[in-house]
Amino acid sequence: MDEIYNLACPASPIHYQNDPVQTTKVNVHGSINMLGLAKRLKARILQASTSEVYGDPTVHPQTEEYWGNVNCIGLRSCYDEGKRCAETLFFDYFRQHKLKIKVVRIFNTYGPRMHPNDGRVVSNFILQALRNQDITVYGDGNQTRSFCYVEDMIQGIIRMMNASDQFTGPVNLGNPEEYSILELAQKIIELTDSTSKIVYRPLPENDPLQRQPNIELAKQQLDWEPRIDLEEGLRHTIDYFRRLI
């Protein structure tokens, strides 16, 4: 084995909050297990970290230098702090054991083959729109996210794995086009020709207000940037869910 991609952790808030103790465990114990394996086999190891390490950011857009604003006892902290601790472990194995590490911070990603019960916003809205059911916007819908199509993301991750050993990251990977959740809902209604109405539900605890990656480092070091804009990516994803249902 030459390379390990450690993606082992549920990424959807409803799934990682379903068993928060296991979420912290998979990030901490799981990373230790994989780092130990990488050390023994002298394999290169990549950690799928997350924009959640920035928490509810006070710096916008987020650069890799920003240390983040995370509540360590909130409902999201099993994921946020679990992923932060995993980054700590990766960098300590790098400094202490000279491991070849790679850390990517993945921002919201979507695309075909998402699970229909994933619970994240893009798949929820598309399924609701295709079924002409109410679209559930949490809060007032003014919170923002930046959505990256899955093929772009995979390209970025592979480029990072293949980059020189000196470049450990962390590096942001995501699409810097920023949309409010309300704009996303309207776009999906339009693209699906749906009769769905938008309804408002309470905002989950510690739901970040805004999120947008600064991807200058990835552009410079990996010669990478997303190619597929939101509308095109949504069309592919809508086609997928239409066939599925």
Q: Which positions touch ligand UDP (CB under 6 A)?
A: 13, 108, 120-121, 124, 136-138, 143, 145, 181, 203-204, 207
Nearer to ligand UDP, 62 or 108 (CB): 108
Q: Could you tell me if 87 and 27 are in contact, meaning their C-beta atoms sit under 8 angstroms apart?
A: no
> Residue 61 Cβ, how far from ligand UDP at the closest point, in Å?
15
Nearer to ligand UDP, 91 or 138 (CB): 138
Residue 79 bears catalytic tag: yes
Closest to 45 in 3D by CA, of 82, 6, 77: 6
The active-site residue out of 16, 79, 93, 110 is 79
Distance CA 90, CA 84 (A): 10
Nearer to ligand UDP, 63 or 210 (CB): 210
Nearer to ligand UDP, 47 or 222 (CB): 47
Distance CA 153, CA 175 (A): 9
> Residue 15 Cβ, how far from ligand UDP at the closest point, in Å?
10
Which DSSP helix (H) or strand (E) runs through 45? strand 44-50
Distance CA 149, CA 178 (A): 13
> Residue 181 Cβ, how far from ligand UDP at the closest point, in Å?
5
For 36, 109, 147, 189, 202, the CA distances from 106, given in Å and listed in that order, are 23, 8, 10, 27, 26
> Residue 143 Cβ, how far from ligand UDP at the closest point, in Å?
4
Instruction: Please identify the residue of the shown chain whose CB is closest to the bound ligand UDP.
Output: 120
Indicate which residues carry an active-site annotation: 79
